[in-house]
Amino acid sequence: MVLNLTVILFLVLHFLPGVKSSMVSLNNNGYDGIVIAINPSVPEDEKLIQNIKEMVTEASTYLFHATKRRIYFRNVSILIPVTWKSKSEYLMSKQESYEQADVIVANPYLKYGDDPYTLQYGQCGEKGQYIHFTPNFFLTNNLHIYGSPGRVFVHEWAHLRWGVFDEYNVDQPFYISSKNTIEATRCSTQITGKNMVFNKCPGSSCIIKQCEHDSQTGLYEAKCTFIPEKSQTAKDSIMFMQSLDSVTEFCTAKTHNTEAPNLQNKMCDHKSTWAIISESEDFQNALPMTGTNPPPHPTFSLLKSKHRVVCLVLDKSGSMDSENRLFRMNQAAELYLIQIIEMGSLVGMVTFDSSATIQNYLTKMTDENAYQHITANLPQVANGGTSICNGLKEGFRAIIQSNQSTSGSEIILLTDGEDAEISSCFKEVKQSGAIIHTIALGPSAAKELETLSNMTGGHRFFANKDINGLIDAFSRISSRSGSITKQAIQLESKAFNITGRKWVNGTVPVDSTIGNDTFFVVTWTIQKPEIILQDPKGKKYKTSDFKEDKLNIRSARLRIPGIAKTGTWTYSLLNNHVDSEMLTVTVTTRARSPTTLPVIATAHMSGNTAHYPSPMIVYARVSQGFLPVLGINVTATIETEDGHQAILELWDNGAVQYQGADTVKNDGIYSRYFTDYHGNGRYSLKVHAQARKNKARLNLRRQNRALYIPGYIENGTIILNPPRPEDKDDMEEAEVDDFSRLTSGGSITVLGVPPSVDLTQVFAPSKITDLEAKFKEDHIQLSWTAPGNILDKGKAKHYIIRISNYLQKLQEDFDTATLVTTSSLIPKEAGSTENFEFRPEPFKTENGTRFYIAIQTINEANLTSKISNIAQATKFIPPQEPSVPDLGTKISTISLAIWGLAVILSMF
> Which residues, other chains included, contact 475 with Cβ-Cβ below 8 Å and sequence gap of 6+?
335, 336, 340, 488, 490, 493, 586, 588, 742, 743, 744
Both 792 and 869 in one domain: the answer is yes
Q: Tell me: pLDDT of 361 over 50.
A: yes
> Which residues, other chains included, contact 842 with Cβ-Cβ below 8 Å and sequence gap of 6+?
818
Helix (H) or strand (E) holding 523: strand 514-524
pLDDT tens, 727-758?
Answer: 444 345 677 889 999 999 999 999 998 887 77
Both 324 and 469 in one domain: the answer is yes
Both 418 and 358 in one domain: the answer is yes
pLDDT tens, 511-544?
Answer: 999 999 999 999 998 999 999 999 999 999 999 9
Both 287 and 318 in one domain: the answer is no
> Which residues, other chains included, contact 204 with Cβ-Cβ below 8 Å and sequence gap of 6+?
892, 893, 904, 905, 906
Q: Tell me: pLDDT of 610 over 60.
A: yes
Between CA 152 and CA 159, with CA 158 as vertex, the angle to 5 degrees is 95
pLDDT value at position 16?
33
pLDDT value at position 335?
93
Q: Is residue 38 part of a domain?
A: yes
Q: Tell me: pLDDT of 677 over 60.
A: yes
pLDDT tens, 173-215?
Answer: 998 888 888 999 999 999 999 998 877 555 445 677 889 888 7
CB of 294 closer than 8 Å to CB of 61:
yes
pLDDT value at position 730?
38
Q: Is residue 80 part of a domain?
A: yes
Q: Is residue 118 part of a domain?
A: yes
Enter the pTM of the model.
0.86
Q: Over pLDDT 90: what percentage of the chain?
A: 61
pLDDT value at position 140?
87
Q: Is 709 helix (H, G, I), strand (E, B) or coil?
A: coil
Both 424 and 295 in one domain: the answer is no
Q: Is residue 18 part of a domain?
A: no
Q: Tell me: pLDDT of 724 over 90.
A: no
Q: Is 621 helix (H, G, I), strand (E, B) or coil?
A: strand
Annotation marks residue 156 as catalytic = yes
CA atoms of 11 and 6, how far apart (whole Å): 9
Q: For 291-305, what is the mean pLDDT?
A: 93
CATH code of 447's domain: 3.40.50.410
CA atoms of 67 and 250, how far apart (whole Å): 8
Higher pLDDT, 89 or 614: 89
Q: For 813-842, what is the mean pLDDT?
A: 93
Q: Tell me: pLDDT of 681 over 90.
A: yes
Q: Tell me: pLDDT of 4 over 60.
A: no
Question: For residue 222, what pLDDT band results from cuts at 50, 70 and 90?
Answer: confident
Min mean pLDDT across 307-321, 508-522, 647-661, 668-682 is at 647-661
pLDDT value at position 885?
36
Both 835 and 859 in one domain: the answer is yes
Min mean pLDDT across 388-402, 509-523, 639-653 is at 639-653
pLDDT value at position 111?
55
Q: Is 62 helix (H, G, I), strand (E, B) or coil?
A: helix
pLDDT tens, 649-666?
Answer: 998 876 544 344 555 667
Q: Is residue 254 part of a domain?
A: no
CA atoms of 859 and 789, how far apart (whole Å): 5
Both 338 and 295 in one domain: the answer is no
Q: For 479-483, what is the mean pLDDT?
A: 82
pLDDT value at position 122?
80
pLDDT value at position 26?
95
Q: Tell me: pLDDT of 385 over 90.
A: yes
Q: Is 399 helix (H, G, I), strand (E, B) or coil?
A: helix
Q: Is residue 109 part of a domain?
A: yes
Both 636 and 655 in one domain: the answer is yes
pLDDT value at position 732?
59
Among 58, 96, 156, 229, the active-site one is 156
Of 462, 478, 494, which residue constitutes the final position of a domain? 478
pLDDT value at position 150?
96
Number of domains observed in the structure of the chain: 4
Higher pLDDT, 55 or 176: 55
Q: Is residue 79 part of a domain?
A: yes
Residue 469: CA atoms inside 13 Å, Cβ hemisphere, count? Answer: 25
Is the preceding omega at residue 188 within 30 degrees of 0, hence cis? yes
Of 463, 478, 493, which residue constitutes the final position of a domain? 478
Helices (H), 578-655: none
E-strand stretches of 233-345: 299-304, 309-315
pLDDT value at position 660?
43
Both 346 and 298 in one domain: the answer is no
Q: Tell me: pLDDT of 143 over 90.
A: no
CA dihedral 447, 449, 452, 457 (to 10 degrees): -100
Q: For 247-273, what is the mean pLDDT?
A: 92
Of 478, 497, 526, which residue constitutes the final position of a domain? 478
Min mean pLDDT across 12-16, 150-154, 559-563, 675-679 is at 12-16
Tell me what the pLDDT averaged over the chain comes to.
Answer: 87
CATH code of 673's domain: 2.60.40.10
Both 741 and 787 in one domain: the answer is no
Domain with 751 in it: 600-696+736-757
Both 753 and 837 in one domain: the answer is no
CA atoms of 137 and 119, how far apart (whole Å): 17
Beta pairing class for 299-304 and 75-80: parallel
Task: Give which of 520, 498, 500 is closest to 508, Cα–Cα.
Answer: 520
Both 438 and 344 in one domain: the answer is yes
Q: Is residue 503 part of a domain?
A: no
Task: Give which of 650, 653, 672, 651 is closest to 661, Cα–Cα.
Answer: 672
Question: For residue 872, what pLDDT band results from cuts at 50, 70 and 90?
Answer: confident
